[in-house]
A and B are shown apart, each in its own frame.
Chain A
Amino acid sequence: MTDTAHQVLLIARRSLVRTARQPGTWIPPLAFPLILMAVNSNGLRAATHLPGFPTKSFLAFFVPFSFMQGALFASGIAGTDLARDIDTGFLNRLALTPVRGSALLLGQIGGVLGLGAAQAVIYLSVALAFGVHIDAGAGGAILILVLALGAAAGFGTLGLWIALRTGSAEGVQSMFPLLFFLLLLSSMNLPRNLIEVSWFRDIATANPVSYMIEALRSLVIEGWNLEALALGFGVTIGLTAVSLLLASRQLRVRMART
């Protein structure tokens, strides 16, 4: 194993252990999307009576939102942990060691992926247990997990960039409502063609989060919709790449060895 890979593993393990040791950190991100899934899938069930609604099960329609919400929570955790490292001087001490910046970032992202994987498996299991049928079959279910992990990596890296940029946990937490607003302004509750208010439909169309949700949703209720998948994966990869670029640049500033 190369030095860098070893460093990545060590930092990812630290990130995971740190999260696991604080139940107050990981229980809400696991439970909250499940609660919202239970409440909204019943509260909005009447929407399935709308002409043109693509499925008879609102739970099946709504499940992808849980993955996105989980990814958003993961970004908050990753960002807050890194911000705390900056605040406590851990990052400065790390800068005195031979650890590579790329290893630090990838290790932190590895920690996010660990939590994201646990979340995705639990959300999918609960959905299946409550009768959701994955139209794309077992392969589709695996792809859902891959896309959910991609979303966790994308939002997680964005959280790391915000932490590196602001250097404070409060800074990361204050961005959370803004990111959550992105979810609210997407096609999370209704398909875009059924959104009546034109300005909202336009915002949802311009909002990249809509395409991530629609890709996940297509696997659950449509089967293999290649256009939706291409858009979803494209946005996810784009988000991760841009966030990684921003975070790497910011890390160089933070870890400047003088």
Chain B
Amino acid sequence: MRSRLDVAFGLAYRQSTILLKNPSLLLPPMLFPLANFIAFAGGLSRLRHVPGFDFSGGYTGFQFVFVLLQSAVFGGVFTGFGIARDFERGFAKRLLVSAPQRSGLIIGYGLAALFRWSLIAIALTTVALIAGMQVGGSGIDLFGLYALAVIFNQVGLLWACGVAMRFRTSQAAPLMQTPVFLTLFLAPVYVPLHLLQGWIHGVARLNPYTRLLEAGRGLLEGQPTEIASAFLTAALLAVVFALWARTGLTRAERAG
């Protein structure tokens, strides 16, 4: 166990140092959710006047939860790009040879993804509060919201890690991010679920991300709904994608 944690912390330290020393790696993932937040919360706030729009925390808060979860999962996916880059440059092969407990590598990348996202989350929350976001939830509610985002961050990392370890090239980047992007936008992004019409309503109802989004919005609003279901869904996704990442690591080990 100890050697596994040593590997994890060593790798997480390396990834985080690279991130901090390269603004080109740090800034785009930070600016992307901020840009989305500004565009959605600023440009679409009139949507709160649509008949049936019942979120009491204001449109800024409504969009904040979406962008917070989006930044979390993309924080994981962007870390996946780094894993692919490590394979391309041969660093990952040396890691595979030298690490006494290879599953520590996934934990290490997971810690690095968490560090990356925590920087984005701080910036995003600060901007949202400056923009006048109304927070109706208690401290415990907010803890729940950020806990959901942390799990979602790890889900994103585990998915991208599985892809990166199977393909071991940066060219797999679209495969890492496109399904995630689609999953995010096939949910009630702009208005609550009951206001969606047509096929997207059916798809959004089945989309597991919708549960997380609605629970997150309830927590920010101070009216928690379906919290157990959301955490169960998030935990289930984490378990499934942990298996996906672990089997990806096995394939990378076999490939040598």
Contacts and interface: CB of A to CB of B under 8 A. Distances in A.
A42 B45 CA distance: 18
Contacts of B200: 39, 42-43
Interface string A215-252: 00000000000000000000000000000000000000
A42 B43 CA distance: 18
B35 A184 contact: yes
Interface in A174-190: 174, 177, 180-181, 184-185, 188-190
B43 A177 contact: no
Contacts of A200: 38, 42-43
B122 interface: no
B46 A195 contact: yes
Nearest to B185: A39
Contacts of B50: 46-47, 49-50
Given A49-B50, A197-B43, A204-B43, A184 B36 contact: yes
B31 A47 contact: no
Q: A36, A46, A181, A185 — which one has the most chain B CB atoms within 10 A of its CB?
A: A46
Interface string A17-46: 000000010001000000110011011111
Interface string A37-65: 00110111111011000000000000000
B149 interface: no
Majority secondary structure, A binding face: helix
Interface in B26-62: 28, 31-32, 35-36, 38-39, 42-47, 49-53
B171 interface: yes
Q: A35, A42, A188, A190 — which one has the most chain B CB atoms within 10 A of its CB?
A: A42
B39 A49 contact: no
Contacts, number: 89
B67 interface: no
Nearest to B36: A184
Interface residues of A, number: 31
A182 B45 CA distance: 18
Given A39-B186, A177-B28, A24 B43 contact: no
A185 B40 CA distance: 9
B197 A46 contact: yes
A106 B27 CA distance: 34
Contacts of A28: 174
Given A43-B189, A177-B31, A197 B45 contact: yes
B97 to A, nearest CB: 30
A46 B198 CA distance: 11
Majority secondary structure, B binding face: helix
Nearest to B48: A196
A185 B185 CA distance: 19
A241 to B, nearest CB: 28
Contacts of B199: 42
B46 A46 contact: no
Contacts of A188: 43
A174 B24 contact: yes
A185 B49 contact: no
B185 A43 contact: yes
B58 to A, nearest CB: 11
B96 interface: no
Given A49-B50, A170-B24, A177 B190 contact: no
Given A28-B174, A44-B190, A174-B24, 17 more contacts: A35-B182, A39-B185, A39-B200, A43-B188, A43-B190, A43-B196, A43-B200, A45-B198, A46-B53, A47-B50, A170-B24, A177-B28, A181-B39, A184-B39, A194-B46, A195-B43, A200-B43
Which 8 A-B pairs have CB atoms at the shortest separation, nearest pair first? A184-B39, A200-B42, A42-B200, A196-B46, A46-B195, A46-B191, A197-B42, A46-B50
